[in-house]
Amino acid sequence: MIRITTHLSPTLKPPPLSLHPHLPLLRRHRHPSSRPISVSAAAPSDLLASVESVASAASVLAAIVLVHESGHFLAATSRGIHVSQFSVGFGPALARFRLGPVEYALRAIPLGGYVGFPDDDPDSGFPPDDPDLLRNRPVPDRLLVVSAGVAANLLFAFLIVYAQALTVGVPVQAQLPGVLVPEVIPGSAAARAGLLPGDVILSVPGLAPDPSVPVLVDLIKASPNKDVSVIVSRTGPGPGDRRSIDLTVVPDTSVDGTGRIGVQLSPYFRVTRVHPNNLAEATVLALREFTALSATVLDGLRQTFLNFSQTAEKVSGPVAIIAVGAEVARSSAEGLFQFAAVINLNLAAINLLPLPALDGGTLALILLEAARGGQKIPREIEQRIMSSGILVVLMVGMFLIVRDTLNLDFIKDIL
C-alpha cells in the first residue's frame, strides 16, 4: 500500500538545460516568489542560510561532475588502460596530489572536469605502441570508456530518485482546471488590469471551458489593443478561501505586431507526494519518476535547439545552476533531490551530442573509425577537431560565468 500527502503547487517541471561538455548549462528560470537580496539589510541568520543553500547547490554540482569523471576513470582502470590525470574543473590547479601514476587536481574554472590519458605525452614513459594506451585499444574498449561518464550520471540520477522515494516521497502531478499566473511584470498590461501572481485563469468568454496555455497565448497574440475578458480565481484571506473575479486585459502591441500582456503562464497542478511502504513500491515509483524526468529533459533539450533563436539568451552556466539550486535548497529539501536528478540527466543527454569536446563527439569519431573498417582517423585531424571544440566551449563558458555573475541580484545591488 502507498501513502500519499497532497498540496497545491505551481507546476514543478524542471527547467530545460543546454550545452556544455562535462557540465550542463541552464536555461534561466526565476521563481515567482524570488526577491532581490539586500546584503546590508539581511540578518546574520538569513546570510548564513543563503551561504548554506549555495554550498548545498555547489556540493551537488561538484558531486555530479565527480560522478561523471569517475565513470570514465573506473571504466579505464578496470580495463587496464593507462590514466594520468583526474581533474574537477579546468585551468590552474587549486590543489593537487599524486597517487600512483595518477595526478588528482581541483582546478580554478568550474566548468566541469576531465580524465587525462598519457597517449600524447612524450614524457609519459610509455612507447607509442603500448597496448594499454587508450588510442591503441580496440573499438569496444574505447566506446566503454567514453560512454561510461554518461552511464554513471544515469545511474546516479536513478539512485537519487530512488533515495527520494524512500525518504521524502515522489511528487506526482495532477492537472487542475485553469491556467496559473506565477509571475506578472510590473507596469505590464496584465498588471494594469489587476492580475496578480498566483491568480488562476479559469475561463475566457468565447473560448471552450478550461483553456490551455497555448490557447491563451494564441488569443493574446491575436488581440493587440483589444479587450480580452478573463475570469480568474484568487486566493482569499482565509485558509483555502478562493474567489472568482472578472477582469479585462488589453494586450500591448509587440514589435512584431502581436499582443503581449507581460505574464508567465503555466498549467495548474495539484502535487501529490507518494510514499512507498516497501522496496518494491519504491522501485516502481523511482522507475516511473526517472522515466518522466528523462522525457522532460529530452523534450526541453529538443525545444532549446528547435527554438534556439528565442532560447539562446536564456542559456546559462554553472553560476546560474548554483543560483537555482540554492533557491531550491532554501525553499525545500525535497526539491534538491529533483534538482540533482535533473542536472544528472541533462549532463548525460548533452554529453551524448555528437559535438567536438563532448563525449558524443568522441563516440562519433570512434564509430566513424569502426565504419571505415578500423582505419584510424589521422591523429592531427582528430586533435584539431577536439582542441577547437574545447576552446569554443571554454570561451562560451567563461562568457556565461561573467554574465550570470553580473545578473545575480546581490551583485546588481552592489553595482
Q: Please list the helix, strand and coil fractions of the chain in percent, rounded to the nearest 5, in that order.
A: 50, 25, 30
Same domain? 97 vs 245: no
What are the backbone angles phi and psi of residue 157, rounded to the nearest 5°? Answer: -60, -45
Same domain? 157 vs 181: no
Inter-CA distances, 29 with 47, 130, 220, 237, Å: 22, 49, 22, 29
Per the annotation, the verdict on 69 as an active-site residue is yes
Domain ranges, residue 180: 174-272
Instruction: Supply angle C-alpha 340, 8, 237, rounded to 5.
Output: 130
Same domain? 101 vs 194: no
| pTM for the whole structure | 0.71
Same domain? 83 vs 61: yes
**Largest separation between any pair of C-alpha atoms in the chain:** 79
Query: One of 69, 183, 289, 327 is an active-site residue; which one?
Result: 69
Output DSSP code: residue 16.
Answer: P
Look at residues 272, 306, 341 and tell me which one is the last residue of a structural domain.
Answer: 272
Q: Return the C-alpha cell found at 49.
A: 542560510
Look at residues 272, 307, 330 and tell me which one is the last residue of a structural domain.
Answer: 272
Q: What is the CATH number of the domain that holds 199?
A: 2.30.42.10
Look at residues 223, 249, 272 and tell me which one is the last residue of a structural domain.
Answer: 272
Helix axes 359-371, 139-167, angle to 10 degrees: 140
Same domain? 198 vs 248: yes
Same domain? 7 vs 64: yes
Domain count, the chain: 2
Same domain? 353 vs 234: no
Same domain? 258 vs 325: no
Same domain? 247 vs 319: no
Same domain? 91 vs 191: no
Same domain? 24 vs 95: yes
Per-residue pLDDT of the chain (415 residues; tens, 9 = 90+): 444 333 343 333 333 333 333 444 443 333 333 332 223 334 444 444 566 777 777 778 888 889 999 999 999 999 999 999 999 887 899 999 999 999 999 988 766 788 999 987 878 888 888 999 998 999 999 999 999 999 999 999 999 999 999 999 988 878 888 899 999 999 999 999 999 999 999 988 877 777 888 899 999 999 999 999 999 999 877 666 778 899 999 999 988 899 999 998 988 888 888 899 999 999 999 999 999 999 988 887 887 777 766 555 666 666 667 677 777 767 777 788 888 898 899 889 988 988 887 899 889 999 988 998 888 878 788 778 877 777 777 777 667 666 766 666 655 655 5
Same domain? 281 vs 398: yes
Given a contact cutoff of 8 angstroms between Cβ atoms, the answer to whether 90 and 112 are in contact is: yes
